[in-house]
Amino acid sequence: MMDVVGFSNSAPMKIGILGSGVTGQAVAQFCRERNIPSHVFTEGDCSNWELNDFTCLVYSPGSIHSPFLREVRQAGIPCMNDLDFAQKFYTNRTIAITGTNGKTSTAEMLHHIFKKLRIPSLLTGNIGIPPISQVRRFNANPRVWNICEVSSFQARDLTIFRPDYALWTNFAPNHLDMHGTLEDYFLSKWNLLRRVREVAVVDSSLFDCPLAEKFLRAQIFAIPNEKDDQVNPVLPHAHQAANFHLICALLEKIIPGQPIGPHLLEDFSFPPHRLSPCGTAENLIFWDDSKATNSAAVKAAFAHVKNFCDRLIWVTCGKSKGEDLENFRPIVAASDRVLVTGEIGEIFLTHFSASNVCHCLDDEAFIGQICACIRAFRRQKCAILLSPGFASFDRFKNYEERGQWFQRLAEEIINLEGKRISTALPPLRQGRCG
């Protein structure tokens, strides 16, 4: 019988699984394959369960504030998230990647580099692949590395999961609707870092955070070298280059002496909806950065896009995650036009009573406003940047669907303007660098 913390191997197990999404279904599949009694349920049907109906509860990351989870804990029943649960069944070396922005891209970059170096690895975690679904492959080859993206929701309550190495990309206000305070958000990530067995690499900007005092007493952290400010065709965005430097610093610890450079990423493609052109025509360029869901990500996108245009129209939309709207004020001030739509629209318009902010109630109004801006700026290079700064769940299933929406509108607008659509990136403005 499986070994779950708090139980002997001989004890009969019944697993309760809170959450019916990707994580919950993966845990259920794992239990079915091993003939472990389990049941998947959601918050809505918890009342049908008695606490003595199961001996362990595995919960999805989004359930961290579930009243039922709190009740089960108070009853003394062991509860764990999917990272802790999976850790009971494999011993492969693990690299955990966390941070406010860039986690997924950094994990995929590292996975790609491992492939180039012929080091076997698997991607798991918040990237969309629960580690429990990879246990069979881990056990088949103990040399396979687990490259695990870890969200703050997953990191918050960890008690078993202990990565060998970790990488923390950056820190900025995010998910405050779930964490309540910036300190809770920070300490959630810190709970992951303090569990690292060997070395963790963090971006030096983390030392600017008042909450980072703990780092000064930690011996497990290595700080990467100064960032390279030169424009690199393989890593054109400053934040991508910064995360690559973190990877290099980490690999110096893991595989010392191995030459690591941008050449290993020459055939790497960044995931979609991360600050990439989705349509250009003459002096127009549309940028899709739908993944950006906080002000820090928007500021990074804004800084990059300004290198390619004379005028910038910023498109923001979505559902608030609790971040202070004042964090967006410099972006509003620096934009030639701000178009806001979705759930945040009315709140945004009230907060920023600036003449350059327009609330678009529907797609027709949105298209009309962009076309008006294009005509007003017709002799200048004009960028239309979707970098929302807020969650997509007001009208879209996810950020991918939101990005696809924007791409369709971009194509429609270019056609309305009678221009020929292209995907080529325009040259940098003279004297500017990324």
What DSSP letter does each residue of 165-185 carry, written as one string?
A: EEEE----S--HHHHSSHHHH
Q: Does domain 91-265 have CATH number 3.40.1190.10?
A: yes
> What pLDDT score was predicted for residue 2?
44
> What pLDDT score was predicted for residue 209?
75
Beta bridge partners of 165: 95, 199
* pLDDT of 427 over the 60 cut: no
* pLDDT of 11 over the 60 cut: no
Cα-only R_g, the chain: 23
The one-letter amino acid at 367 = I
Give 276-416's CATH code, choosing from 3.10.20.30, 3.40.50.150, 3.90.190.20, 2.20.25.240: 3.90.190.20
310-362 confidence digits (pLDDT tens): 999 999 999 999 999 999 999 999 999 999 999 999 999 999 988 899 999 99
Which is the CATH superfamily of the domain at 15-84? NAD(P)-binding Rossmann-like Domain (3.40.50.720)
* pLDDT of 37 over the 60 cut: yes
* pLDDT of 381 over the 50 cut: yes
Confidence of residue 43 (pLDDT cuts 50, 70, 90): confident
Which of 62 and 299 is assigned the larger pLDDT?
Answer: 299
Give the chain's count of helices (H) and strands (E).
14, 16
* pLDDT of 399 over the 60 cut: yes
Mean pLDDT, the chain, rounded, equals 87
Which of 296 and 239 is assigned the larger pLDDT?
Answer: 296
Closest CA to 123 of 150, 99, 141, 143: 150
Closest CA to 49 of 29, 30, 68: 68
> What pLDDT score was predicted for residue 233?
61
Confidence of residue 42 (pLDDT cuts 50, 70, 90): confident
Q: How far apart are CA 232 and CA 168, in angstroms?
A: 22
Closest CA to 61 of 162, 149, 182: 149
For the chain, the domains span: 15-84, 91-265, 276-416
* pLDDT of 107 over the 70 cut: yes
> What pLDDT score was predicted for residue 275?
92
Full-prediction pTM beyond 0.95?
no
CA angle (428 as vertex; 423, 431 as ends), nearest 5 = 175
Residue 215 C-alpha from the chain's centroid: 23
> What pLDDT score was predicted for residue 216?
55
The one-letter amino acid at 398 = N
> What pLDDT score was predicted for residue 238?
81
Beta strands in 71-224 (DSSP E): 79-81, 94-98, 121-125, 145-149, 165-168, 199-202, 221-222
* pLDDT of 236 over the 80 cut: no
> What pLDDT score was predicted for residue 62?
86
> What pLDDT score was predicted for residue 425?
47
